[in-house]
Amino acid sequence: MKRIGTFLLALMLALAVPAPCFAAVDEKTVEAPSAVLVSADTGAVLFEKNAHDRRSPASVTKLMTMLLVAEALDTGKIKLTDTVTGSANAASKGGSQIWLEVGEQMTVEELLKAVVIASANDACTALAEFVAGSDGAFVQCMNDRAKELGLQDTHFENCTGLDDTAKNHFSSAYDLAVIAREVLRHNWITKYATVWLDSLRDGKTELNNTNKLVNTYDGITGLKTGTTEKAGFCLCATARRDGMQLIAVVLGAKTSEQRFSAATALQDSGFANYRLVTLSADPKKITQITVKNGVQKILNPAVPAKQQLLCAKGSGDPTYEYKLKKTVDAPVRKNTRVGTVKVKLDGKTVAELPVYAGVNIDKTAFWSVFVRFLRTF
């Protein structure tokens, strides 16, 4: 029940976003066949243009590689200091690279920097092999993770995004934004994505960031570029201002400048038109509930967790209406819904925060009731 309630809340929060008032951006402004702007905080879609079209994502594919590596690091499966030995398969990858040699050893962190900053295909493959045991096994993990995220328009054939021989390698602007949102949950990775210039091999190999917005856009946090003849010029640009983070994905632009201009226009419009509000119920108004025939006579409901809502700039502050049950019958199970906090914005209900029982309360046994009855005499 709680999972369903959480889903409905997320849906309402997404639907609560008012109709876009994009004065600065429209489909003509975004000079790319496919694009999307998504709130990293709530998942709400703020702008879309053919956002579910299946296209070659080029090296923006590496968002999924970055996600799986980040998850492996955060779970302790691998460490940044682990040593990775370059394989013949990794060393053979063309395109962007750090010229990894067969048998050469680098740390996970060095390879990760090469992937995030310079989009190195050889480093990407070496990491994939280290995490999953083989390139193919890692690609299977990528597709499995895509299914877990509910991505409907994504299938990977490799971890790099090289598409000269790939026949069934695709994603969509929306799906890539979903992956990017997951990557940003591991916010430490942005320290690599915002580096403009770095090096490996004691300064002998330069790492130049392929995302020029890192050097020019206020609040930029990353995240990944991609370019092939088949895919065109692609970009996933993320930025944070005033506590709000946005994800702009642009696919298939004709020139590099067009992808950066489109992403900039999308981000600018999002920051100009929206603000992030934290929804927080007042604990003093989450009142006690009487329990009938329970081993405990009073239930103290759990205070709803704080949620975030994307609102149009210029809208009023949210107000709250509290509706809780006065009595419940035992037994009461933890996470049973016992009330609702309605959130209103400018007089309209924009979200509902479910209130749940915080503990289990069993029903009073027959003999306990009987003994209590006898004590009345």
- The question of whether 59 is a catalytic residue gets the answer yes
Catalytic residue selected from 34, 56, 59, 269: 59
Catalytic residue selected from 119, 171, 172, 269: 119
Do 91 and 120 contact (CB within 8 A), yes or no? no
- The question of whether 172 is a catalytic residue gets the answer no
Reduce the DSSP state of residue 97 to 3 states and report it. coil
- The question of whether 315 is a catalytic residue gets the answer no
Is the omega angle on the peptide bond into residue 283 within 30 degrees of 0, that is, cis?
A: no
Reduce the DSSP state of residue 43 to 3 states and report it. coil
Catalytic residue selected from 49, 62, 113, 224: 62
Burial class (CB within 10 angstroms; exposed 0-12, middle 13-18, buried 19+) of 195: middle
SS3 letters for the chain?
CHHHHHHHHHHHHHHCCCCCCCCCCCCCCCCCCEEEEEECCCCCEEEEECCCCCECCHHHHHHHHHHHHHHHHHCCCCCCCCEEECCHHHHCCCCCCCCCCCCCEEEHHHHHHHHHHHCCHHHHHHHHHHHHCCHHHHHHHHHHHHHHCCCCCCECCCCCCCCCCCCCCEECHHHHHHHHHHHHCCHHHHHHHCCCEEEECCCCEEEECCCHHHHCCCCEEEEEEEEECCCEEEEEEEEEECCEEEEEEEEEECCHHHHHHHHHHHHHHHHHHEEEEEECCCHHHCCCEEEECECCCEECCECCCCEEEEEECCCCCCEEEEEECCEEECCECCCCEEEEEEEEECCEEEEEEEEECCCCECECCHHHHHHHHHCCC
Task: Provide the annotated active-site residues.
Answer: 59, 62, 119
